[in-house]
Amino acid sequence: MTQGALCTVELALVVFSKLTSQPLTNAHHFLNFSREEIIMELLFADQVRSGGRRIGYLAGVELDARSRRVTKIIFSKDGKLRSDAHTRSIDAVRIERGIVLVDESLLDQPATTEPLLLSRSVRIIKGGRHSGHLAGVVVGDQATLAAAIGKQHWWTGRYRLPASDLDFSQPGEIRTGASGSRAA
């Protein structure tokens, strides 16, 4: 990374720290992912294109609960999960300049187990407290889930939660951190 790029990243971290009132040490998790680990960052509501035309907006992903492998993306015309949503295999997806590109020649594979559906409606619970909602996922090597991307409010920045810390046991929630009572 060049000196100019490091200064830009440091400035972004300082701005993040000021906006979220979190110490700068908590913001350093953005730098913990090397370029080799991040294959794709899929943000919900990103454009999905195929054959040079927009076919919709990313609405969610399907995740195999056992292997934590992202199997499909889900998209629709308005980026919402409705009856008009379509799916494509993750093997047919690539990211180029922040746009999700889909290769139509690859067919969907049937799910082998009951998948988990991750979308904007999934709540994030950190340490037993509501900490926002899911804004996207980071897909690593072999299409495994590398991290979840959360966002507390529309005006705050996004944050990442490493996949090793995530608990999907509650439907509609992703839990992370200690879940005990803090009452005295």
Each of the 184 residues of the chain gets a pLDDT tens digit; together they read: 444 443 344 434 444 444 444 444 433 344 444 444 557 899 999 999 988 899 999 999 999 988 899 999 999 999 999 898 999 888 888 888 778 888 876 555 665 678 899 999 999 999 899 999 999 999 988 889 999 999 999 899 999 999 999 999 999 999 998 544 444 4
The sign of the CA dihedral 176, 178, 180, 183 is negative
Residue-level pLDDT at 184: 43
Question: How far is 32 from 159, CA to CA, in rounded Å?
Answer: 12
Question: How far is 145 from 70, CA to CA, in rounded Å?
Answer: 6
Q: Tokens for 17, please give them.
A: 């720290």
Question: How far is 75 from 183, CA to CA, in rounded Å?
Answer: 42
pTM, two decimal places: 0.71
Residue-level pLDDT at 62: 94
Residue-level pLDDT at 45: 92
DSSP β-bridge partners for residue 133 = 123, 151
Residue-level pLDDT at 109: 61
Amino acid at 45: A
Chain-centre distance for alpha carbon 119: 9
Question: How far is 5 from 11, CA to CA, in rounded Å?
Answer: 10
Q: Are 134 and 182 in contact (CB under 8 A)?
A: no
Q: Are 98 and 105 in contact (CB under 8 A)?
A: no
Question: How far is 55 from 100, CA to CA, in rounded Å?
Answer: 10
